Amino acid sequence: MGEENHTQTASNGEVVSESNVKYYTIEEIKLHNMSKDTWLIIHDKVYDITSFLEEHPGGEEVLLEQAGADATESFEDVGHSTDAREMLEQYLIGELHMDDRKQESKTDVFNSTSGGESSVWTMWLVPALAAVVVGLMYRYYTLEHQSS
Ligand code: HEM
């Protein structure tokens, strides 16, 4: 009891959890949509890229178009390099609030091995089917021997 990961909601809507990850609501993120204060959401993480605007090889315009919003799709569409993905980390300020995440990303968070479920099924289903087939063959042959 009392050991759960409590979250506290501050007056400005920010939610701080015990794991020290800061969660921002979409409402709060939307406010940071100008060139002197630019936040972006990429894969449910929140980045303050104000100081990166001028450095971006793809130009600041494309970043400003997405400012205060989810840029995951455009970021992925460009096919950014691993270097670009690593660069992201230095601008990380928190994560998107759970309530504002899309359904599929919610499952990502709670099931970090997403897709693992289906492999567990195949892992068990294949041997189970093989066992059934072997069982049926065994029955078939023993019955055949009995009748002859
Ligand atoms: C903070 C997030 C971002 C970082 C750290 C970042 C970083 C980079 C880097 C390092 C490159 C050079 C090529 C590479 O290494 O892949 C690049 C290129 C590019 N980026 Fe981004 N990027 C970000 C967000 C975005 C977004 C949201 C868009 C689109 C709306 C975008 C559009 C582009 C384009 C079009 C290029 C190609 C430029 C060219 O080759 O002429 N980037 N970005």
HEC sequence for 93-114: EEEECHHHCCHHHHHHHHCCCC
Atom of ligand 1 nearest to the CA of 77: 29
Q: How many of the other CB atoms lie within 10 Å of CB of 33?
A: 16
pLDDT at 140 (0 to 100): 87
Spatial CB neighbours of 129, under 8 Å, sequence gap ≥ 6: none
Angle at 77 between CA 47 and CA 55, to 5 degrees: 45
Closest Cα to atom 35 of ligand 1: 58
Query: 39, 78, 91: which to mutate for ligand 1, most atoms within 8 A of CB?
Result: 78
**Would the CB of 81 count as within 6 Å of ligand 1?**
yes
**Would the CB of 58 count as within 6 Å of ligand 1?**
yes
C-beta of residue 40 within 8 angstroms of C-beta of residue 32: no
Spatial CB neighbours of 23, under 8 Å, sequence gap ≥ 6: 7, 14, 15, 16, 17, 94, 95, 96, 97, 98
Ligand 1 center to 55 CA (angstroms): 10
Distance from C-alpha of 26 to C-alpha of 31, rounded to nearest angstrom: 9
Distance from C-alpha of 81 to C-alpha of 23, rounded to nearest angstrom: 27
Closest Cα to atom 36 of ligand 1: 58
C-beta of residue 60 within 8 angstroms of C-beta of residue 53: yes
Comparing CA positions, the residue from 133, 45, 51 lying closest to residue 89 is 45
C-beta of residue 7 within 8 angstroms of C-beta of residue 16: yes
pLDDT at 125 (0 to 100): 85
pLDDT at 106 (0 to 100): 46
**Would the CB of 57 count as within 6 Å of ligand 1?**
yes
Ligand 1 center to 44 CA (angstroms): 18
pLDDT at 2 (0 to 100): 41
pLDDT at 93 (0 to 100): 97
Atom of ligand 1 nearest to the CA of 80: 16
pLDDT at 95 (0 to 100): 97
Distance from C-alpha of 41 to C-alpha of 46, rounded to nearest angstrom: 5
- For the chain, list residues with pLDDT below 70: 1-19, 103-118, 120-121, 146-148
